[in-house]
Chain A
């Protein structure tokens, strides 16, 4: 459960930092009157959707941290035999990186008001994400063809489960991306709203990319050797 505890510490750290700005030491029973004497203690200016997505990403982060925790605990049992890393995963990782870059370009274009580039970025991001999903399915089929079935070993079970969950999250993101694209195509959406919409997509994709990189490191077994090196350094 180390992984989830560490992730929670990070979440609590952010929450604690934010709370520390909220004058939790004040004496509200003495402070009657207008609030304008205390800047920064009211609801912030950040768009609600962005705050909402931020909280949601914390939840998603916990979800994958828990999968990783379960993975590392199950790994210590005798019947575990690690899987090889299918080379295709490297290509998929590159494709996911591309879609994240495309959405970042779309965001910058939206900020500068280049609607054509926004559309291009959104479509590229969407298509590369679909390519990533297809790539993951191909990886699954390859593994099955070489005998790494779901039930053959817990390492395989975890591989299918975790990549599947990550894929589901990308799939859900594609729904949001489709809505944003619809906004980008009908010209009536105000620029600010479109920019926010693209920004949320980009945020979500960057987060899922980071999650994927972390999962890739864990699934490929490098995390293990990394921790091993850390242990050696400590002892």
Chain B
């Protein structure tokens, strides 16, 4: 291993890096609406994602009203309930989480963190957002279409997804859903190419891959995975659209519906499940990897300590990314597959827990004897670690065939994936917003409101989802709008359901406080300065806050060190910026 002598810095003129031909906007329209600046696109992506996410939040309230107080609300028919769960799931997974992590944080942070002036294909980047917006509008349109949105469940399993008995199955609901997903994939591919090529080709001088902040590693790997996994969703959607509109039999078996034989014949619903989960499982990590990356940076910055085991963290991210493509069938244990096939996928599922566990240990060891500042981003990062461990442990249960079979399709599964894929990534999103908001707006978010938001969200989420595990273990099935007087629904289960619903309302309202804080602080927040968290990465070293188009001043920064030089013994301050040539060569305890 070659070590560089401290201080041996041969100054290389940054002019060697070709200036990108930046398209500088001239009018209000091209500056704020049809902007090609990644930072504006990021805010457009985030705003749209949060707006549609609020719709999904309201849908979850409606679902909880029905589950907590069955029979009380006449307007929630079983059909409406199915529509609520379907749209809630689809919006949250794809249109909120994926769009916010990759389109929002990816666009804002990648160019700034790698020291680039913008994304490498700004025009395609702009198109990516507008196609995403179109996808969202098509999705919203299905609420107003005759028959309403599809109620097929977020997995859209055929044959039921396109049959008469399912809401939207023979109306416009399912068609608009599929078209919206197809648009989303096309739009995402345009953005995704940008994120990948920017990391590959537009890193500033000195920014080697091993000097990238883990946030960039997480978003980069997740984007590569998304580029390879989303085609599976595209193929599934196109084929189902053919089945629905043209009467082909890709997925549709011979079916007698309401006494009439449908013209379809011999198709395979299992084929759809394979395609769907080939996308669906990597999707879990497409959401989780950016969260992993961001949380590493939050913990390191707010504990004033370098990240423990940076190399392991990078390897784990890449390893998880690759492994997540060979575990998809663990979602299909109850589809009647060959038991040996299931055994193979149970094994790969358990193997993927190894790199994930490495990451958790490294986070904890980063905290160990750190100078922990319990700022709001840090609180959310800690909440993430706890929640991800909790959700991950139930994942180990469900990853095993013999345990999964009885628990399949119960509320236990719902509780599991909400912990691991809902609450965990959302806490990171909140932490990241509190962390980077000062850079985006130049002002801090209000502390008191932030504390309120954190504690209500964190405690509330546990009060929602811990009881839900218990309800699931009692055998309460998911996807049932009402259970009536079934023997398994004891009084305690009813009471728990009502309790969960009340908590869901409280947690939901706390998010409104957060939204208020987001808007109020733009004008009234405390002035942040350029680097309020005293962080090392490049986005905090920009000339202007918020950064202008082109991100950095006249010259791009040159990088001299990795992203985690916190509390270096002998240094003037407790952090050394990545572009600080400095004289202290070796940092940290590893030397």
Contact with A along B252-290 (1 / 0, CB 8 A): 000000000001011110010011001000000000000
B121 close to chain A: CB less than 8 A = yes
User: Given A8-B325, A34-B8, A58-B228 in contact, is the A28-B203 Cβ separation under 8 Å?
Assistant: no
CB-based contact B271/A70 at 8 Å: yes
**B231 at interface, CB cutoff 8 A:** yes
Please judge, given known A-B contacts A44-B200, A52-B121, A78-B266, whether A157 and B248 are in contact too, CB under 8 Å: yes
Inter-chain contact A24/B209, CB cutoff 8 Å: yes
Beta-carbon contact of B311 and A27 below 8 Å: yes
Q: Which chain A residues border B205 with CB–CB below 8 Å? A: 35, 42
Q: List A contacts of B5 (CB < 8 A).
A: 33
Contact A55 B242 (CB under 8 A): no
Q: Mark A6-48, 1 if CB is under 8 A from B, else 0.
A: 0010011001000100111111111111111110011110101
Q: List, in ascending order, chain A residues with CB within 8 A of B275's CB.
A: 66, 70
B306: nearest chain-A partner, CB-CB? A29
Smallest Cβ distance from B401 to chain A, in angstroms?
19
A52 lies within 8 A of B306 (CB): no
Checking B193, B206, B591 against A56 with a beta-carbon cut-off of 8 angstroms, the contacting residue is B193
On whether the beta carbons of B2 and A38 are closer than 8 Å, the reply is: yes
Interface set, chain B 190-205, CB cutoff 8 A to A: 193, 196-197, 200-203, 205
The stretch from B79-87, B291-299, B519-527, B555-563 touching chain A is B555-563
B42 at the interface (CB under 8 A from A): no
* Segment of B142-150, B233-241, B379-387, B538-546 engaged in the interface with chain A: B233-241
Within 8 A of A (CB), among B178-221: 189, 193, 196-197, 200-203, 205-211
Q: Indicate if B505 sits at the interface (CB-CB under 8 A).
A: no
Contact of A33 among B7, B249, B306, B325 (CB under 8 A): B7
- Residue from the list A26, A52, A69, A74 in contact with B268, Cβ < 8 A: A74
A23 to chain B, nearest CB (A): 6
Which of B211, B246, B318, B561 is the one whose CB lies under 8 Å from A151? B246
Which B residues are CB-close (under 8 A) to A48? Answer: 120-121, 197, 201-202
Min distance, Cβ A156 to any Cβ of chain B, angstroms: 9
Q: Which residues of A contact B248 (CB under 8 A)?
A: 150-151, 154, 157
- The answer on a CB contact under 8 Å between B201 and A51 is yes
Interface size on B, residues (CB 8 A): 76
Contact between A66 and B2 (Cβ–Cβ < 8 Å)? no
The CA-CA distance from A157 to B246 in the complex, in Å, is 10
**Do B206 and A157 touch across chains, with their CB atoms under 8 A apart?**
no
Tell me if A73 counts as interface (CB < 8 A to partner B): yes
- Interface bits A52-91 vs B (CB < 8 Å: 1, else 0): 1001101100110011011001100111100000000000
Contacts of B209 in A (CB 8 A): 19, 22-24, 41
Q: Does A138 belong to the interface (CB within 8 Å)?
A: no
Q: Choose among B7, B209, B234 the residue with the greatest number of A CB atoms under 10 Å from its CB.
A: B209
A32 B2 Cβ-Cβ under 8 A: no
The reply to whether the CB of B161 lies closer than 8 angstroms to some CB of chain A is no
* A217 CB contacts on chain B under 8 angstroms: none
In the complex, which residues of chain B have a beta carbon less than 8 angstroms from the beta carbon of A130? none
Q: Residues of A contacting B238 with CB < 8 Å?
A: 161, 165
How many Å lie between the Cα of A90 and that of B86 in the bound state? Answer: 46
Does A1 interact with chain B (Cβ within 8 Å)? yes
Counting CB contacts under 8 A, is B1 at the interface? yes
Q: Is B131 an interface residue (CB 8 A)?
A: no
Q: Do B4 and A79 have beta carbons less than 8 Å apart?
A: no
Within the complex, the shortest CB–CB distance from A84 to chain B, in Å, comes to 19
Expressed in whole angstroms, the Cα–Cα distance for A5 and B201 within the complex equals: 28
Task: Provide the residues of chain B in CB contact with A117, threshold 8 Å.
Answer: none
Whether B227 pairs with A46 at a CB distance below 8 angstroms is: no
A58 to B12, CA, bound (A): 35
- Partner-binding segment picked from B51-59, B496-504, B582-590: B582-590
A66: contacting residue among B10, B235, B315, B322, CB under 8 A: B235
Interface centre among A5, A31, A67, A165 (most CB of B within 10 A): A31
Report B-chain residues with C-beta under 8 Å of the C-beta of A26: 1, 208, 210, 311
A23 to B234, CA, bound (A): 36
Known contacts A32-B560, A151-B249; A51 and B200 CB within 8 A of each other:
yes
B576 to A, closest residue via Cβ: A32
CB within 8 Å for A42 and B242 given contacts A1-B278, A25-B311, A33-B585: no
The distance in angstroms between the C-alpha atoms of A27 and B322, with both chains bound, is 23
Question: A209: CB under 8 A from chain B?
Answer: no
- Check if B165 is an interface residue, CB within 8 A of chain A: no
Check B250 for interface membership: any CB of A closer than 8 A: yes
Instruction: Determine if B6 is an interface residue (Cβ-Cβ < 8 Å).
Output: yes
- Assess the A4–B242 pair: CB atoms within 8 A: no
- For B563, the closest partner residue in chain A by CB is A28
B250 touches A157 (CB 8 A): yes
Q: Is the CB of A37 within 8 A of B2?
A: yes
Whether the pair A59, B7 counts as a contact (CB closer than 8 A) is no
Q: Which residue of B lies closest to A11 (CB)?
A: B228
Complex formed: what's the CA distance from A86 to B64 in Å? Answer: 57
The closest CB in chain B to the CB of A65 belongs to: B231
Please, how many angstroms separate the alpha-carbon atoms of A214 and B223 in the complex? 27
Residue B564 at the chain A interface, CB threshold 8 Å: yes
B560→A34 contact, CB < 8 A: yes
CB contacts (< 8 Å) of A151 on chain B: these are: 246-249, 263
The docked-state distance in angstroms from the alpha carbon of A1 to that of B2 is: 44
Per-residue interface assignment for chain B, residues 107 to 128, with 1 indicating a CB less than 8 Å from any chain A CB and 0 otherwise: 0000000000000110000000
Nearest CB of B to A39, in Å: 11
Q: Is the CB of A28 within 8 A of B193?
A: no
Q: Given the complex, which residues of A lie within 8 Å of B310, measured CB to CB?
A: 28-29
Closest-by-CB residue of B relative to A33 is B4
Q: Which residues of B contact A19 (CB under 8 A)?
A: 209, 318
* Minimum CB–CB distance for B554 against chain A, Å: 20
Nearest CB of chain B from residue A140's CB, rounded to whole Å = 14
Provide the residues of chain A in CB contact with B6, threshold 8 Å: 32-33
Contact residues in A for B12 (Cβ distance below 8 Å): 34, 36
A32 to B125 Cα, complex, angstroms: 34
How many angstroms from the CA of A66 to the CA of B272 in the assembled complex?
12
Q: Please determine whether B249 and A37 come into contact, CB atoms closer than 8 angstroms.
A: no
Question: Does B326 touch A at the CB level, under 8 Å?
Answer: yes
Instruction: Tell me, rounded to whole Å, the shortest Cβ–Cβ distance linking B277 to chain A.
Output: 10
| Interchain CB contact under 8 A, B208 and A38 | yes
Interface centre among B193, B564, B584 (most CB of A within 10 A): B193
Nearest B residue to A67, CB-CB: B235
Task: With both chains docked as a complex, state the minimum distance between the C-beta of B200 and any C-beta of chain A, in angstroms.
Answer: 6
Q: Which 8 A-B pairs have the closest CB atoms?
A: A79-B266, A33-B4, A28-B562, A157-B248, A41-B208, A63-B231, A35-B206, A28-B210
- B residues near A, CB below 8 A? 1-12, 120-121, 189, 193, 196-197, 200-203, 205-211, 224, 227-228, 231-232, 234-235, 238-239, 242, 246-250, 263, 265-268, 271, 274-275, 278, 306, 310-311, 314-315, 318, 322, 325-326, 559-562, 564-565, 582, 584-588, 590-591
Contacts A63-B235, A161-B238 known; list 9 others, CB within 8 Å.
Answer: A1-B274, A31-B4, A38-B2, A70-B235, A70-B239, A74-B268, A77-B267, A154-B248, A154-B249
Q: List 13 A-B contacts (CB under 8 A).
A: A11-B228, A24-B209, A26-B311, A31-B3, A31-B4, A32-B560, A32-B561, A33-B4, A48-B201, A56-B189, A62-B227, A151-B263, A158-B250
